[in-house]
Structure formats: C-alpha cells, structure tokens
Amino acid sequence: MYKRQAKNDPIVQARSRENKVHVVFVHPAEFLVTNPAGEIVTVPRHSDVRNVTALLTTRSAVPEPATSLMVYGEPLLAAALKTPLRDLLGNAIGRLPEGPAEADRRAARFTVVAVATGVDGSVTRGVVRGSDVYGLTAVSLVWGALRMAAPGYDRRGPLGPAAAFDPGAYLDEMAPHGITYELTLNKEEKRCRCR
C-alpha cells in the first residue's frame, strides 16, 4: 500500500510495492518515508492489529526542493547510522537549535491520516488536522494530567494516549486549539466531520 505519486521513478515504484502502503495526499509530489513513531509500539497495546506502519512526508523534515532526494537518502542515512558516522551525526544534530521560532511553529500545519483495514476488507480512515504541534503538545499534556488526576480515573501503567483517554473526547477538547478531524467508516464511506 505504499504509493508515491512520482509514477515515472522506478525506485519509488519499487519501494511502494515493497512497503505495501497506499496513501494519497492532495499535494502532487508527496514522498513518504518510514518513521519510527511511538504508535508502532503503543497501538498494538490497545488494539488487536497485525501490523502498524508509520510514515512521514519528507517535506515535514526537509525543504521542499530536496524532498524528492529523500527517497534515495533514506536508505543511505539508515546505512550510515550503522557505522561510526552515527556519533558524528549525533553531534551535528546536538548542535541544532532547540526548535523552530514561535512564528514558524504557529504557521506549521500538520495532517495525521490513520487507515485501518479489517480482515473482512472493511476500511476505516481517520484524518486529524491542526497547527503548532509544540503548543498542542503542551495543551495536551495539561489536559491529560488533569484527567488522570480526577477522581474516578482508573487506568494504570504505561499507556498510549488512545488507551489512556477516549480519543473522541480528546479531539473535541482540542477544537479550540485548532484541531479538526473526520472519520470515514467502512466501505460505505459514511463521514463524520467533527469540529
């Protein structure tokens, strides 16, 4: 299901078939790379799934003109991280600024797409959109801490956010902070456009 829209590139086509992930974005030149996100570990803890793959658009990590090079750069970087270059790269990353400027943070937009395919072939797709992931992280942590400290909260141990809280309630509470979401259920494509 891994599909990039650069159809004339044989390496991109081969990686698409290899990863078996199909994601279509509106942007005409969307390149995706595998991402060692926490969801790979947390989702199987609260959902009966066979496989979780996390992907990231390359333009999330590198400037637009260089995104097409990421399809070639990802395997090279992975190989370099298995050599003594790892320490050198780590030192270089350690010299980068703490994060983007506040104006850049607020201007940054994100989209998270989750696609679940059932054994019966049914498909559920969720899309969450928002901005300022740094500010949203702070608001989310406060929201979560208040819920966990409230009387009656009975969940224990290390939990991913979707196991710790009702995802719909969380997303509804984040609406004043710019979060929107929609859910497409099964093959009938029933849509719930929320907030």
Could you please report the per-residue DSSP string of 26-47? Answer: SSTT--EEE---THHHHHHHHS
User: Are residue 47 and residue 126 in the same domain, yes or no?
Assistant: no
User: Are residue 76 and residue 134 in the same domain, yes or no?
Assistant: no
User: Tell me, what's the pLDDT at 92?
Assistant: 86
Instruction: For residues 74 and 79, give the distance between their C-alpha atoms in angstroms, rounded to a whole number.
Output: 9
Residues of the chain with pLDDT under 70: 1-33, 57-71, 187-195
User: Tell me, what's the pLDDT at 13?
Assistant: 46
Rounded to two decimals, the pTM is 0.65
User: Tell me, what's the pLDDT at 73?
Assistant: 73
User: Tell me, what's the pLDDT at 33?
Assistant: 67
pLDDT digits (tens, 9 = 90+) for 59-69: 666 666 666 66
User: Tell me, what's the pLDDT at 71?
Assistant: 64
User: Tell me, what's the pLDDT at 11?
Assistant: 46
User: Are residue 160 and residue 134 in the same domain, yes or no?
Assistant: yes
Give CA 136 to chain center in angstroms. 14
User: Are residue 70 and residue 115 in the same domain, yes or no?
Assistant: no
Given its phi and psi angles, is residue 181 left (phi above 0), alpha (psi -120 to 50 degrees) or beta? beta
User: Tell me, what's the pLDDT at 64?
Assistant: 65
Instruction: For residues 132 and 189, give the distance between their C-alpha atoms in angstroms, rounded to a whole number.
Output: 30
User: Tell me, what's the pLDDT at 65?
Assistant: 65
User: Are residue 153 and residue 74 in the same domain, yes or no?
Assistant: no
Q: What value, to the nearest 5°, has the Cα angle with vertex 92 and ends 88 and 96?
A: 165
User: Tell me, what's the pLDDT at 177?
Assistant: 93
Instruction: For residues 22 and 77, give the distance between their C-alpha atoms in angstroms, rounded to a whole number.
Output: 23
User: Are residue 75 and residue 129 in the same domain, yes or no?
Assistant: no
In total, how many domains does the chain have? 2
Q: Which domain holds residue 172?
A: 100-195
User: Tell me, what's the pLDDT at 12?
Assistant: 45
Q: How many CA atoms lie within 13 A of 34 on its CB side?
A: 15
User: Tell me, what's the pLDDT at 38?
Assistant: 76
DSSP state of 123: E
User: Tell me, what's the pLDDT at 97?
Assistant: 81
User: Are residue 116 and residue 85 in the same domain, yes or no?
Assistant: no
Final residue of a structural domain among 96, 131, 165: 96
User: Are residue 5 and residue 79 in the same domain, yes or no?
Assistant: yes
Contact residues for 162 (Cβ-Cβ < 8 A; gap 6+): 42, 43, 46, 47
User: Tell me, what's the pLDDT at 115?
Assistant: 81
User: Are residue 121 and residue 81 in the same domain, yes or no?
Assistant: no
User: Tell me, what's the pLDDT at 3?
Assistant: 36
Q: Which of 164, 112, 159 is nearest to 143 (CA)?
A: 164
DSSP state of 64: G
User: Are residue 132 and residue 73 in the same domain, yes or no?
Assistant: no
